């Protein structure tokens, strides 16, 4: 009986060891295979990655990408545990993870603007954060980037959560506004406002990025890969930034190249897809692609402290770096 | 006290000890895995860090608040689901044609993954407590329904014959024969439903979280506070065990007469 138990445990250990994803393990083509948690479903917003693959930038860098559309927090944990080298994450995730001792560092900024927006039906005349006073605002939940973005906006406008009524509604913002159950919701600049306008519902939008600069989505790396294989980090970031640069320069080409990666792309509203990409590009543009502004991290830390999501100041110099960008 | 009773008591005591030992071994194994495996705390926290997190959440009142929210959804959902399932189940047990009409819908409703339709229920019913209670009731409905049907159909025909020979009314047959005779099977279904009802409330809370243990779970995940996730999960287990215990108590209380037979 005991022998059987030992054998089962040994078998399980071997299976688990086989599951661990080591970036140094080479694929059949001699390329380093990298599983990349994306944090969202296949979407035109990931065009820079699709373009970088299609144009062979990752291959030239010796990398083969395997997209993994899992939850953002799961990606961060796997990177923190040293199981995966990289993940795509939002800025607040980096600080929350480091506050809990996860050995992770943000190595390249992708979004220069925090992509969260407050979207309101036009007839309400909601144009500035102060207009939100006393209003009910629907948002996916009292956590996540939408909540952080809203709180940052209120913080900048010298308002607090008690000045508004928050209503957790799940990721149903578009449907609930369309059904008349919500008038003001928090979502992403490249999603909800575009979807609602496409349904013929006129809306106004307050972009968080117009009021405060916050560390936004980018590439997270494990301290392990940074220490053991910095060349891989440089190669990965370089290939991604080439894809980003090409997407910004030629959105039409990026749309075509992304088609094969997004299920049912041909059936989606082409105008909406184009608009989503255009809006995303607005948020990616900057003089130096990949650059992290220390002030954006400082601002993010202040918001998280104000929200009580972190309790003490972190060493921000360890949370992000610009050393891997060209 | 006779010898047989003493023997039974000591046997039961031995079994209780077995349960305690099993729990202790589980806790020790958990501790040693976290201590020596090198698995980081945010992947698998140690029993001590979970215990400390529990004390902290109890101290600031957040755990009591969120647990009470989930408990109220569970109790309401369980009540609504059980009432509907009992009424529909009795109707189906009594009428084969009604069963033929409704059974495709009832079986199909069980094939729908509740997690997938939960966001739709939130849109249809609003994001308040109602959507959670309905999700909870939907999960509770089927096991209670099936056991009600089985219980009522299993009532021996001889009992009906006896009641008819005594010119008993419809209500008398219901209360004096059908209810007591089907109660054991019905309570078996309720026991399953009560445990499942906790899952229903959590599924609802995961869709639009602002309070409840589902919210604590998501917040813990968002903040990489894995001990908090464990605390919320253990509270859910405690709720399910408590409900299971209440139904078991009801079984003992109402089915005492069975032992005498």
Please give the full DSSP string across B121-169, using - where no structure is assigned. HHHHH-SSHHHHHHHHHHHHHHHHHHHHHHHHHTS-HHHHHHHHHTT--
pLDDT of residue A9: 46
Residue A92, Cβ neighbours under 10 Å: how many? 28
A231 closest CA partner among A324, A97, A95: A324
Q: What is the mean pLDDT of residues B130-152?
A: 92
pLDDT of residue A10: 39
Report the number of distinct structural domains present in chain A. 2
pLDDT of residue B8: 55
| Confidence grade of residue B260 (pLDDT, cut at 50, 70, 90) | low
Q: Are residues A177 and A124 in the same domain?
A: yes
Residue A127 domain flag: yes
Q: Are residues A99 and A221 in the same domain?
A: yes
Q: Are residues B64 and B123 in the same domain?
A: yes
* pTM greater than the 0.80 cutoff: yes
Answer yes or no: is pLDDT of A157 > 60.
yes
Pairing of strands A165-168, A116-121: unpaired
pLDDT of residue A173: 92
Compute the nearest-CA separation of A223 from chain B (Å): 14
Residue A173 domain flag: yes
Is A73 in contact with B222 (Cβ distance < 8 A)? yes
Q: Is A96 on the interface with B (CB under 8 A)?
A: yes
Answer whether A218's CB lies under 8 Å from A75's CB: no
On average, the pLDDT of chain B sits at 88
Lowest pLDDT segment from B15-19, B53-57, B214-218: B15-19
Chain B hits for A171, CB-CB cut-off 8 Å, are 119
Q: What is the pLDDT of residues B177-224, one digit of tens each?
A: 898 889 999 999 999 999 999 999 999 888 877 899 999 999 999 989
Point out the residue among B39, B127, B224 whose CB comes nearest to the CB of A96: B224
pLDDT of residue A89: 95
Rounded to the nearest 5°, which phi and psi values hold at A230? Answer: -60, -25
Is A141 in contact with B224 (Cβ distance < 8 A)? no
Q: What is the pLDDT of residues A258-279, one digit of tens each?
A: 999 999 998 999 999 999 999 9
Which residues sit opposite A63 in a β-bridge? A32
Point out the residue among B40, B207, B221 whose CB comes nearest to the CB of A73: B221
Answer yes or no: is pLDDT of B107 > 90.
no
Q: Are residues B135 and B241 in the same domain?
A: yes
Residue A5 domain flag: no
Chain B hits for A102, CB-CB cut-off 8 Å, are 40, 42, 224
CA distances from B147 to B14, B97, B110, B242 (A): 33, 19, 15, 21
Element (H, E) at A249: helix A230-249
In terms of DSSP H, where are the helices of B37-95?
A: 47-59, 62-94
Domain boundary among A210, A225, A257: A210
Q: Are residues A205 and A222 in the same domain?
A: no
Q: Are residues B2 and B89 in the same domain?
A: no
Chain B hits for A179, CB-CB cut-off 8 Å, are 123
Q: Are residues A219 and A304 in the same domain?
A: yes
Q: Are residues B124 and B29 in the same domain?
A: no
Element (H, E) at B107: helix B96-111
Chain B hits for A81, CB-CB cut-off 8 Å, are 39-40, 42-43
- How many beta-carbon contacts under 8 Å exist across A and B? 76
Answer yes or no: is pLDDT of A107 > 90.
yes
A15 burial via Cβ count (<10 Å: 0-12, 13-18, 19+): exposed
Answer whether A286's CB lies under 8 Å from A112's CB: yes
Q: Which of A76, A170, A224 to mutate to test the interface with B (most CBs of B within 10 A)?
A: A170
Answer yes or no: is pLDDT of A313 > 60.
yes
> B16 or B201: which carries more pLDDT confidence?
B201
pLDDT of residue B1: 45
Lowest pLDDT segment from A2-16, A110-124, A175-189: A2-16
Is A140 in contact with B208 (Cβ distance < 8 A)? yes
Answer yes or no: is pLDDT of A56 > 90.
yes
- Residues B167 and A224: their CA atoms lie apart, in Å, by 84
Residue A279 domain flag: yes
Q: Are residues B82 and B161 in the same domain?
A: yes
Residue A324 domain flag: no
Q: Give Cβ neighbours of residue B180 (< 8 Å, ≥ 6 apart).
A: B257
Report the length, in residues, of chain B.
261
Is A143 in contact with B126 (Cβ distance < 8 A)? no
CATH number at residue A187: 3.40.190.10
SS3 (DSSP) at A28: coil
- Residues A203 and A118: their CA atoms lie apart, in Å, by 10
Chain B hits for A168, CB-CB cut-off 8 Å, are 127, 208-210, 215
CA atoms within 13 A on the CB side of B54: 13
| Confidence grade of residue A188 (pLDDT, cut at 50, 70, 90) | very high
CATH number at residue B248: 1.10.3720.10
Q: What is the mean pLDDT of residues A245-256?
A: 96
Q: Which domain holds residue A136?
A: 116-210
pLDDT of residue A219: 97
Q: Are residues B62 and B12 in the same domain?
A: no
CA distances from B77 to A112, B111, B201, B242 (A): 46, 20, 8, 16
Answer yes or no: is pLDDT of A20 > 70.
no
Q: Are residues A192 and A303 in the same domain?
A: no
pLDDT of residue B119: 85
pLDDT of residue A21: 46
Q: Are residues A202 and A225 in the same domain?
A: no
Domain boundary among A152, A185, A210: A210
Give the gyration radius of chain B's Cα atoms. 23
Answer whether A239's CB lies under 8 Å from A52's CB: yes
On average, the pLDDT of chain A sits at 90
Q: Are residues A95 and A234 in the same domain?
A: yes
Chain B hits for A167, CB-CB cut-off 8 Å, are 127, 210
Answer whether A168's CB lies under 8 Å from A140's CB: yes
Q: What is the mean pLDDT of residues B121-142?
A: 88
Q: Are residues B207 and B78 in the same domain?
A: yes
Answer whether B157's CB lies under 8 Å from B123's CB: no
Q: Are residues A103 and A226 in the same domain?
A: yes
Report the number of distinct structural domains present in chain B. 2
Q: Are residues A311 and A270 in the same domain?
A: yes
Q: Are residues A125 and A270 in the same domain?
A: no
Residue A191 domain flag: yes
Q: Which of A99, A143, A165 to mutate to test the interface with B (most CBs of B within 10 A)?
A: A143
Q: Are residues B144 and B87 in the same domain?
A: yes
Is A172 in contact with B119 (Cβ distance < 8 A)? yes
Residue A6 domain flag: no
Q: Are residues A124 and A107 in the same domain?
A: no
Compute the nearest-CA separation of B204 from chain A (Å): 10
- Residues A66 and A52: their CA atoms lie apart, in Å, by 13
Residues 190-249 of A with CB under 8 A from B: none
Is A141 in contact with B218 (Cβ distance < 8 A)? yes
Q: Are residues A187 and A242 in the same domain?
A: no
Q: Which domain holds residue B53?
A: 47-260
- Residues B28 and B25: their CA atoms lie apart, in Å, by 5
Q: What is the mean pLDDT of residues B31-56?
A: 92
pLDDT of residue B146: 92
Is B123 in contact with A140 (Cβ distance < 8 A)? no
- Residues B195 and B199: their CA atoms lie apart, in Å, by 8
Q: What is the mean pLDDT of residues B5-14?
A: 56
């Amino acid at each position: 009986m005991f022998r059987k138990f030992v054998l089962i445990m040994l078998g399980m250990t071997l299976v688990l060891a086989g599951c661990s994803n080591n970036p140094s393990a080479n694929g059949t083509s001699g390329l380093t295979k990298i599983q990349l948690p994306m944090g969202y479903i296949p979407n035109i917003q990931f065009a820079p990655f699709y373009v970088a693959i299609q144009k062979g930038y990752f291959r030239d860098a010796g990398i083969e990408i395997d997209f993994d559309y899992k939850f953002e927090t799961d990606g961060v944990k796997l990177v923190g545990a040293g199981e995966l080298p990289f993940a795509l994450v939002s800025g607040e995730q980096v600080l929350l993870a480091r506050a809990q001792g996860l050995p992770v560092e943000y190595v390249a900024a992708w979004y220069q603007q925090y992509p969260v927006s407050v979207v309101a039906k036009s007839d309400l005349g909601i144009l500035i954060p102060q207009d939100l006073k006393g209003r009910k605002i629907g948002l996916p939940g009292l956590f996540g980037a939408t909540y952080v973005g809203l709180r940052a906006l209120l913080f900048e406008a010298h308002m607090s959560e008690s000045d508004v009524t928050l209503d957790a509604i799940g990721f149903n913002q578009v449907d609930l506004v369309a059904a008349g159950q919500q008038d003001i919701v928090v979502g992403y600049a490249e999603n909800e406002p575009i979807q609602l306008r496409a349904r013929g519902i006129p809306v106004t939008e307050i972009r968080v990025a117009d009021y405060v600069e916050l560390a936004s989505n980018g590439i997270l790396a494990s301290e392990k890969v940074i220490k053991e294989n910095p060349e891989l980090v440089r190669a990965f970031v370089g290939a991604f930034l080439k894809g980003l640069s090409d997407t910004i320069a030629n959105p039409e080409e990026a749309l075509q190249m992304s088609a094969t990666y997004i299920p049912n792309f041909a059936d989606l509203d082409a105008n909406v897809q184009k608009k989503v990409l255009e809006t995303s590009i607005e948020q990616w543009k900057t003089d130096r692609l990949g650059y992290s502004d220390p002030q954006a991290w400082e601002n993010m830390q202040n918001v998280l402290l104000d929200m009580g999501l972190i309790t003490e100041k972190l060493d921000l110099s360890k949370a992000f770096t610009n050393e891997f960008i060209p | 006290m006779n010898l047989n009773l003493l023997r039974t008591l000591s046997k039961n005591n031995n079994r209780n000890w077995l349960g305690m030992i099993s729990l202790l071994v589980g806790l020790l194994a958990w501790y040693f895995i976290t201590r020596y495996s090198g698995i980081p705390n945010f992947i698998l926290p140690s029993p001590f860090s979970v215990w400390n997190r529990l004390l902290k959440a109890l101290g600031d009142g957040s755990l009591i608040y969120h647990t009470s929210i989930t408990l109220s959804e569970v109790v309401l959902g369980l009540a609504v689901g059980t009432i509907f399932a009992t009424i529909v189940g009795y109707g189906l047990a009594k009428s084969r044609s009604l069963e033929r009409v409704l059974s495709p819908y009832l079986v199909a409703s069980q094939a729908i993954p509740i997690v997938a339709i939960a966001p739709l229920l939130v849109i249809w019913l609003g994001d308040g407590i109602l959507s959670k209670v309905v999700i909870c009731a939907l999960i509770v409905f089927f096991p209670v329904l099936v056991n009600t049907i089985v219980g009522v159909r299993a009532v021996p025909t001889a009992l009906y014959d006896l009641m008819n020979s005594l010119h008993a009314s419809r209500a008398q047959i219901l209360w004096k024969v059908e209810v007591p005779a089907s109660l054991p099977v019905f309570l078996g279904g309720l026991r399953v439903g009560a445990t499942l009802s906790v899952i229903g409330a959590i599924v609802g809370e995961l869709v639009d979280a602002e309070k409840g243990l589902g919210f604590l779970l998501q917040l813990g995940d968002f903040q990489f506070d894995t001990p908090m996730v464990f605390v919320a999960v253990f509270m859910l287990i405690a709720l399910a065990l408590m409900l299971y215990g209440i139904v078991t108590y009801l079984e003992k209380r109402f089915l005492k007469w069975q032992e005498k037979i």
